[in-house]
Structure 1
């Protein structure tokens, strides 16, 4: 498979912060935009590099290249990293140069979801579905993490819980009520509900609007207490 890469850089120095996306190949990225009280919507970022893209088609024509069956130099993309043999056979056709776009980050932009080509077999519609699903699941996850944080930070409530229950809540916070678990569930959904040991695509989630994560704050306070040799006895 030709190498495809996407890179998201967030510059927090300007006001408002600005994000820069560099994309190469057939990977795609979608930003989740959501105003309070409104449904999440997916905004495509960048563009896939293929012979079907009008801009790439014009560039290929100027380079004297033709696409056969949607393939460029035998590959399903018009830009890639690597693929040295194809590039030597047709110099200047299969470019390693990414497209770079940028946008301001406001409170309406909740996250950016990046994925390799295998995740977007349904095109922009697949991106819309993935963003809406991820937006809903992240909201539920944030609420659950804060609920767990409230229980673990309240000594009077902890006194009523058995040690096993406290350990179970900590495991849930670290293993299930987290972005990694939500992203794994989305991967299974995009793979048709299958739990694959080696999924044919990669996903990356960047939360541009950080959640009010009291669970993470409580965990950091606990770690700091341990480093300071402070014994915290919840039982």
Structure 2
């Protein structure tokens, strides 16, 4: 089972890129972020023609998340996180696919720090922590995949000293991510590659991709039942070099049908 997360940075404007990647990578389940499209403008016909069923949570011009499943329709279980009823941002969607709970998320950016956007980010993180704890109690495979807008460690960012007061690298945000993982989640990429410098995002400006001035902000977190089946994890880095592509690269994992011996690579 191949499960991916991909911040497409505009699903309609970059539809050709998405469809090309779906064909080449052939994932079974995909969590998409930054659709930047209202609910009625999601390109469902093109997605279905590519062989995927879809559920989505759209929003005009901003945010937006979706879950795709190859050859089937995901069973929608939730749109939006609990805990703040007035929050209208389209940042969380959840579905059941093949007996697994798949949560797709787009955590707030939070800049500028300090300010109300940063405060909102921390509140959203707390809501995620509270709900993630409930998901762990289900004792079923759960995957929380998406753009978390946080670099957890200095290994996840080029020139860490330049990012000290950025909302993606503030100590409060990194602590929130650590507290989330410490509930019992496994950061798939970091689990398999504990010592490697891996990036998932490169800005459009200052030739960042060519200089490899990147950030690791797209993460796949696994509940213990899913982590026991983790066999591979990678970043489709080459997609970031395609024409008219997103500033993010897809991240994917593979889960075996059976429990596998946990492996660590250095």
More strand by share: 2
Q: Could you tell me the TM-score, scaled by structure 2's length?
A: 0.25
Greater C-alpha Rg: 1
More helix by share: 1
